[in-house]
Amino acid sequence: MATTALPGRGYLEDDTPTVWSWVKAWLLTVDHKRIAILYLLSINFFFLLGGLAATVVRIELVTPQGDLLSSDLYNRAFTLHGIIMVFFFLIPVIPAVLGNFLVPLMIGARDLAFPRLNLLSWYLYMAGGIFALSAAVFGGVDTGWTFYTPFSSTYANSNVILTIAGAFIMGFSSIATGLNFIVTIHTMRAPGMTWFRLPLFIWASYATSLIIVLATPVVGITLLLLAIERLWGVGIFDPALGGDPVLFQHLFWFYSHPAVYIMILPGFGVISELIATFSRRRIFGYEFIAFSSMAIALLGFLVWGHHMFVSSQSVYAGLVFSFITMLVAIPSAIKVFNWTATLYKGSISYRTPMLYALGFIGLFVIGGLTGIFLGVVAIDIHVTDTYFVVAHFHYVMVGGTIMAYLGGLHFWWPKMTGRMYNEVWGGISALVIFVGFNMTFFPQFVLGYLGMPRRYHVYPQEFQVLHVLSSSGATVLAIGFIVPIIYLMFSLWKGKPAGNNPWEATGLEWQVSSPPPTHNFTRIPVVTSEAYAFPPEAAERDAASWRPGSPL
Amino acid sequence: MRDFPLFPQQASTFAGPIDTLYGVLVLLSLIFGGVLPFIILYLMVRYHRSQKADRANAPHGSIPLELTWTVIPLILVMGVFFWGAFLYIQMRTPPQRTLEIYVIGKQWMWHTQHPNGKRENNELHVPVGQPVKLIMTSQDVIHSFFIPAFRVKQDVVPGRYTTMWFEATQEGEFHLFCAEYCGTEHSLMGGRVVAMSLSDYERWLATPGEVILPDGSSGVVSVAPMAAMGDPMALVGGQLFSNLGCAGCHRDDGAGVGPSLVGLYGNQEKLADGSTILADENYLRESILNPGAKIVAGYANVMPSYDGQVSEDQLNQLIAYIKSLSDAGSSGN
């Protein structure tokens, strides 16, 4: 337990005589950093599982016929991919791994406000995961991750209840984390750490937590109603029982659209940190980036209807949701412009985290722009429920969230483990992921506009070329994801010791040792400067000391 | 792999305008998404650590710049919004006189019925140059009727009618897909849309064909030329109307227990709670299946529910009959 460890000792060290006590020290830890590591391992496990399901889907789609899987198996594969990736990877990944590790360190606190609640959240996550996995083991579920009624409530004969129980429990894990962040950021900032001195990752985590706490209960209630209808035949969504099937979509997207921002906002936060550090410069337009996160959090609640333009929603509702969707594009654009302006007169280095950050901007711009296409109802009518949508949300979620997560993981890896990873392999993997990703998903925009519907097991011949292209890109992408696992693991034993601040970054987390001591700060720091206060002469010093052969 | 298209065929009046808007959006995206990477690349090289560039007085923010890159995108997206909204309203406003075809979706087939009673499975024959309105419902789960070449798509929802309209501009065969995931054979729930000249369409309508009816039985539906028979959907509906005993209360002269249905469709109906409602397909449907939901002013809640007693197919026929009693409802072709 954290309380038995010496405050000054690294959080990874133990004086546990037996294996059992070592296991206990990890599984009963209330140290936010150890919980982050527990999350890191379990969330990455789920990512690999979801990736496996995607691999099966992409292999099946190489030919127009259904030759590898039966249609039922195919439907179960894409449903498993969606449920695992959305609920057990994308939503928790940045808050639960990077957020858990960094929020207390960045604001100068010794832990989160409720350390035991934090541990509970990991157990809830695991419990939800076990439910969802057992659903897959006992025959799978074939509703798609969206669980549309009345298919899911009356017609599907797969493990719907087990799966939504998993998502339901996982929701409480999110709420616990969100609540913890909000209270921590409000009450536990170090002296002098005013709101406008907070690193932008904290602003983003704060906005995310607000969404989590406000939206997640809605999906919990919705899934509960679905279970009630499925188990006891109470008519809520099935018109044959007197219910309204479109009501389910309203409730579901009232959570699931903000959920997109739960995935991407923390990513914005990570990218702001990376760009500032590797340009060695205060972020351009700090207030605008901070407030655009809050604007996205607010507007994100008002656009759920854009998932339902062809669902029988009225013309007026369609117009209003379309209008607000256009507005939500603006704060995202503001962020991109401010990041670009930060490069101006910076002192830029091309280290792996920076490469991921630039990859993020590239992919997010495409994802964001195609979001405008989809927000225009007249075009949405043609491309909704086609591969255009599939490509769009992968650009935002994979191109956005995963690029940010990997960038952040590389950036804080030295802090978390005390070791440096291999920079050459890091650069290669960032490049391979960027190329593989575009090969996989760009052809899908074309497919979608041609009219190829999503969730199709067999498809007309004329779409094959693009599907083959997409599947071959997925192979490259898979390699790109496997390489970092290898060299990051390797670095744990062979990596160079990182030192406290290998990137010469400014945040409080870089002032403590790597890995940080159990209690983070032996003396709570007093903050006297703004975030990203790089000394003005740092850039000149860089240029003067740069020699051919220095790290790019 | 015979052909490798990048754009779908344009075969309806919507296809051209939507592709134009799409093209403009692609162009704007290329300007934005194509220029920005070069600015980033330039800055990355210019201000790389190894470069001895002038880094004095680096700005930390600029209100004019922030305003510029807020207002310009805002103007652009608003322009796109209004353009798209204009098109959208057109796509959701069918012309006065349309050819009305009823569509029933079920796991995993489409069933369509033309005004003269001719039925089809997984196919839809339509005339070129005529506005066609589809009145659609589902027997089980949510489906979505999608014709990429026409750029139209509409979810087909159980328990209510959804409508969509289009006007084909080109003869030929086009894909018909179900676009809303509906279970095991979702990807096989489709077929073709055949657009043909009006005279061919009328000839086709007059040929009898065997189809599987929505209740699973199969039958040959013999049809007579439309001109001779009027609207058989409405005729069959009229028979049902008297067989089910509707005519006893809903007397044409308005003297019955229930309100007269003459001239009802397409007009505003005054309800007992003082509100008014547009009598469209969904209102008629609700009033047959759940009569107590909306009571017409001046009448008592005495009508029994017909839920479970009429099939989706019969419901379509009843509604076709009720529509034929009103000027607004008689379909022209």
For the stretch A144-174, pLDDT in tens is 999 998 999 989 888 999 999 999 999 999 9
B78: in domain: no
| CB-CB under 8 Å, A71 with B187 | yes
pLDDT confidence of A8, banded at 50, 70, 90?
low
Å between A139 CA and nearest CA of chain B:
14
pLDDT confidence of B329, banded at 50, 70, 90?
low
From chain A, pick out residues whose CB is under 8 angstroms from the CB of B56. 345
Q: Token pair of B157, please?
A: 């929802």
Using DSSP's 3-state secondary structure scheme, residue B123 falls into strand
- Burial-class residue A298 by CB neighbours within 10 Å (0-12, 13-18, 19+): middle
- The residue among B177, B202, B225 that closes a domain is B225
B169: in domain: yes
Q: Has residue B327 got a pLDDT over 80?
A: no
| CB-CB under 8 Å, A451 with B49 | no
Cα(B106)–Cα(A550) distance, integer angstroms:
66
Cα(B93)–Cα(A22) distance, integer angstroms:
69
Percent of chain A with pLDDT over 70: 98
| CB-CB under 8 Å, B33 with A379 | no
Q: What are phi and psi of B16, to 5 degrees?
A: -60, -60
B145: in domain: yes
| CB-CB under 8 Å, A457 with B148 | no
Say yes or no: B142 and B253 in one domain: no
Of the segments A12-16, B59-63, B70-74, which one has the largest average pLDDT value? B70-74
Q: Token pair of A319, please?
A: 């117009």
Interchain contact A63–B (C-beta under 8 A): no
Which residue on chain A is closest to B80 by alpha carbon?
A376
Q: Of B6, B58, B180, which is closest to A345 when you measure between CB atoms?
A: B58
B198: in domain: yes
pLDDT tens-digit readout, A440-452: 999 999 999 999 9
**Chain-wide mean pLDDT for chain A?**
92
Task: For domain A34-545, say whether CATH 1.20.210.10 is its number.
Answer: yes
B238: in domain: yes
| CB-CB under 8 Å, B181 with A358 | no
> Can you give the pLDDT at residue B187?
94
Q: Token pair of A479, please?
A: 């390699």
| CB-CB under 8 Å, A240 with B158 | yes
B7: in domain: no
| CB-CB under 8 Å, B55 with A330 | no
The H or E element spanning position A325 is helix A315-343
pLDDT tens-digit readout, A190-217: 999 999 999 999 999 999 999 999 999 9
Say yes or no: B258 and B194 in one domain: no
Lowest mean pLDDT among A227-236, A542-551, B139-148: A542-551
| CB-CB under 8 Å, B49 with A349 | yes
| CB-CB under 8 Å, A155 with B1 | no
Interchain contact A213–B (C-beta under 8 A): no
Average pLDDT over residues B37-55: 87
| CB-CB under 8 Å, B1 with A465 | yes
Instruction: Give the end-to-end CA distance of chain A in Å, rounded to a whole number.
Output: 42
pLDDT confidence of A543, banded at 50, 70, 90?
confident
> Can you give the pLDDT at residue B231?
64
Q: Are A437 and A363 in contact (CB under 8 A)?
A: yes
Residues 505-534 of A with CB under 8 A from B: none
**Residue B218's beta-bridge partner residues?**
B212
Say yes or no: B269 and B156 in one domain: no
Interchain contact A379–B (C-beta under 8 A): yes
Among A105, A104, A102, CA closest to A113: A104
Cα(A480)–Cα(A477) distance, integer angstroms:
5
> Can you give the pLDDT at residue B220?
57
Beta pairing class for B172-178 and B190-196: antiparallel
From chain A, pick out residues whose CB is under 8 angstroms from the CB of B292. none
Interchain contact A279–B (C-beta under 8 A): yes
pLDDT confidence of A258, banded at 50, 70, 90?
very high
**Selected residue with higher pLDDT from B3 and A448:** A448
Q: Has residue B221 got a pLDDT over 60?
A: no
Q: Of B1, B22, B33, which is closest to A366 when you measure between CB atoms?
A: B33
- The residue among B199, B225, B251 that closes a domain is B225
| CB-CB under 8 Å, A142 with B50 | no
pLDDT confidence of B224, banded at 50, 70, 90?
very low
Beta pairing class for B99-106 and B131-138: parallel
Among A38, A4, A43, CA closest to A23: A38
Lowest mean pLDDT among A469-483, B181-195, B275-289: B275-289
Cα(B168)–Cα(B131) distance, integer angstroms:
8
Burial A237-256 (b: 16+ CB within 10 A, else e): bbbbeebbbbebbbbbbbbb
B33: in domain: no
Cα dihedral across residues B307, B310, B316, B320: positive or negative: negative
Domain ranges of chain A: 34-545
Å between B151 CA and nearest CA of chain A:
5
From chain A, pick out residues whose CB is under 8 angstroms from the CB of B183. 75, 142, 151, 155-156
Q: What are phi and psi of A517, to 5 degrees?
A: -65, 160
**Selected residue with higher pLDDT from B217 and A339:** A339
pLDDT tens-digit readout, B19-31: 999 999 999 999 8
CB pairs under 8 A between A and B: 268
Cα(A359)–Cα(A431) distance, integer angstroms:
8
pLDDT tens-digit readout, A81-106: 999 999 999 999 999 999 999 999 99
Say yes or no: B206 and B125 in one domain: yes
Which ipTM did the prediction report? 0.90
Q: Are A226 and A161 in contact (CB under 8 A)?
A: no
Interchain contact A282–B (C-beta under 8 A): yes
The H or E element spanning position B205 is helix B198-206
| CB-CB under 8 Å, B55 with A346 | yes
From chain A, pick out residues whose CB is under 8 angstroms from the CB of B29. 369-370, 372
pLDDT confidence of B247, banded at 50, 70, 90?
confident
Average pLDDT over residues A500-520: 92
Say yes or no: B187 and B274 in one domain: no
Say yes or no: B177 and B274 in one domain: no
Q: What is the domain extent for residue B284?
A: 232-329
Best B25, B52, B155, B277 member to test A by mutation, with max A CBs in 10 Å, is B155
Lowest mean pLDDT among A93-97, A177-181, A203-207, B157-161: B157-161
Packed helices B15-46 and B63-91: angle between N→C axes, nearest 10 degrees: 160
Å between B209 CA and nearest CA of chain A:
27
Å between A464 CA and nearest CA of chain B:
7
Using DSSP's 3-state secondary structure scheme, residue B126 falls into strand
Cα dihedral across residues A139, A142, A147, A150: positive or negative: negative
Cα dihedral across residues B116, B119, B122, B125: positive or negative: negative
Say yes or no: B219 and B246 in one domain: no
Q: Token pair of B55, please?
A: 């880094």
> Can you give the pLDDT at residue B219?
61
B114: in domain: yes
Q: Of B61, B157, B182, which is closest to A312 when you measure between CB atoms?
A: B157
Q: What is the secondary structure of B242-308 as a DSSP string?
A: HHTTHHHHS-TTS-SSS---TT-TTSEEEBTTS-EEE--HHHHHHHHH-GGGSPBTT--S-PPP-TT
Q: Are A61 and A471 in contact (CB under 8 A)?
A: yes
Show Cβ contacts of residue A358 under 8 Å, excluding neighbours closer than 6 positions.
B40, B44
Best A241, A386, A456, A532 member to test B by mutation, with max B CBs in 10 Å, is A456
Percent of chain B with pLDDT over 90: 41
Å between B103 CA and nearest CA of chain A:
15
From chain A, pick out residues whose CB is under 8 angstroms from the CB of B74. 327, 330
Q: What is the DSSP letter of A453?
A: B
Say yes or no: B208 and B268 in one domain: no
Among A350, A501, A493, CA closest to A421: A493
Q: What are phi and psi of B183, to 5 degrees?
A: 115, -165
Which residue on chain B is closest to A157 by alpha carbon?
B183
From chain A, pick out residues whose CB is under 8 angstroms from the CB of B192. none
> Can you give the pLDDT at residue A351?
92
Total domains present in chain B? 2
CATH number of the domain enclosing B113: 2.60.40.420
| CB-CB under 8 Å, B182 with A319 | no
From chain A, pick out residues whose CB is under 8 angstroms from the CB of B25. 372-373, 376, 379
Which residue on chain A is closest to B55 by alpha carbon?
A345
Interchain contact A240–B (C-beta under 8 A): yes
Say yes or no: B189 and B274 in one domain: no
CATH number of the domain enclosing B256: 1.10.760.10
- The residue among B225, B253, B270 that closes a domain is B225
State the Rg of chain B over Cα: 27
